[in-house]
Amino acid sequence: MHIHILGICGTFMGGVAALAQAAGHRVTGCDAQVYPPMSTQLEQQGIQLIEGYGADQLALQPDLFVIGNVISRGNVLMEAILDQALPYVSGPQWLAENILCHCRVLAVAGTHGKTTTSALVTWMLEQGGVAPGFLIGGVPSNFGCSARLPKDWNPLRQNLQDKPWFVIEADEYDTAFFDKRSKFVHYRPRVAILNNLEYDHADIFPDVQAIQVQFHHLIRMLPAQGLVVVNGRDERLALTLQWGCWTPVEYFGASGSWQLQGLQNNGLALSCEGQVLATVPAWALLGEHNRLNALAALMAIRFLGMDPAEALHSLVSFKGVRRRMEVLGTVRGVTVLDDFAHHPTAIQTTVAGLKQTLAPGQRILAVIEPRSNTMKQGVWAAALAPSLEQADLVFCYSAQLGWDVDGALGSLGERALTFQNIDDLIKAVAVRAKWGDQVLVMSNGGFGGLHVRLLEQLALENA
Q: Same structural domain for residues 37 and 142? A: no
pLDDT, average across residues 329-347: 82
CATH number at residue 262: 3.40.1190.10
pLDDT, average across residues 256-264: 83
pLDDT, average across residues 332-350: 82
Q: Same structural domain for residues 186 and 84? A: no
Q: Per residue in 77-114, pLDDT tens? A: 999 999 999 999 999 999 999 999 999 999 999 988 88
The range of the structural domain enclosing residue 31 comes to: 2-89
Q: Same structural domain for residues 83 and 144? A: no
CATH number at residue 340: 3.90.190.20
pLDDT-based confidence at 261, cuts 50/70/90? confident
Which of 268, 293, 317 is the last residue before a domain boundary? Answer: 317
High-pLDDT (> 70) share of the chain, %? 97
pLDDT at 400: 77
Q: Per residue in 286-307, pLDDT tens? A: 778 888 999 999 999 999 999 9
pLDDT-based confidence at 121, cuts 50/70/90? very high
CATH number at residue 54: 3.40.50.720
pLDDT at 78: 98
Q: Which H, E and C letters describe the chain, residue by residue?
A: CEEEEECCCCHHHHHHHHHHHHCCCEEEEEECCCCCCHHHHHHHCCCEEEECCCHHHHHHCCCEEEECCCCCCCCHHHHHHHHCCCCEEEHHHHHHHHCHHHCEEEEEECCCCHHHHHHHHHHHHHHCCCCCEEECCCCECCCCCCEECCCCCCCCCCCHHHCCEEEEECCCCEEECCEEEEHHHHCCCCEEEECCCCCCCCCCCCCHHHHHHHHHHHHHCCCCCCEEEEECCCHHHHHHHHCCCCCCEEEECCCCCEEEEECHHHCEEEEECCEEEEEECCCCCCCHHHHHHHHHHHHHHHHCCCCHHHHHHHHHHCCCECCCCEEEEEECCEEEEEECCCCHHHHHHHHHHHHCCCCCCCCEEEEECCCCHHHHCCCCHHHHHHHCCCCCEEEEECCCCCCCHHHHCHHHHHHEEEECCHHHHHHHHHHHCCCCCEEEEECCCCHHHHHHHHHHHHHHHCC
Residue 359 has pLDDT above 80, yes or no: no
Mean pLDDT of the chain: 88
pLDDT at 20: 96
Kindly state whether residue 94 falls inside one of the protein's structural domains: no
Q: Same structural domain for residues 150 and 270? A: yes
Kindly state whether residue 258 falls inside one of the protein's structural domains: yes
Residue 148 has pLDDT above 80, yes or no: yes
Q: Same structural domain for residues 11 and 105? A: no
Kindly state whether residue 433 falls inside one of the protein's structural domains: yes
High-pLDDT (> 90) share of the chain, %? 47
Q: Same structural domain for residues 107 and 242? A: yes
Q: Same structural domain for residues 392 and 418? A: yes
Q: Per residue in 375-389, pLDDT tens? A: 767 676 788 888 888
Number of domains forming the structure of the chain: 3
Q: Same structural domain for residues 280 and 182? A: yes
Q: Per residue in 441-460, pLDDT tens? A: 888 777 777 778 888 888 87
Q: Same structural domain for residues 443 and 330? A: yes
Q: Same structural domain for residues 345 and 299? A: no
Q: Same structural domain for residues 375 and 398? A: yes
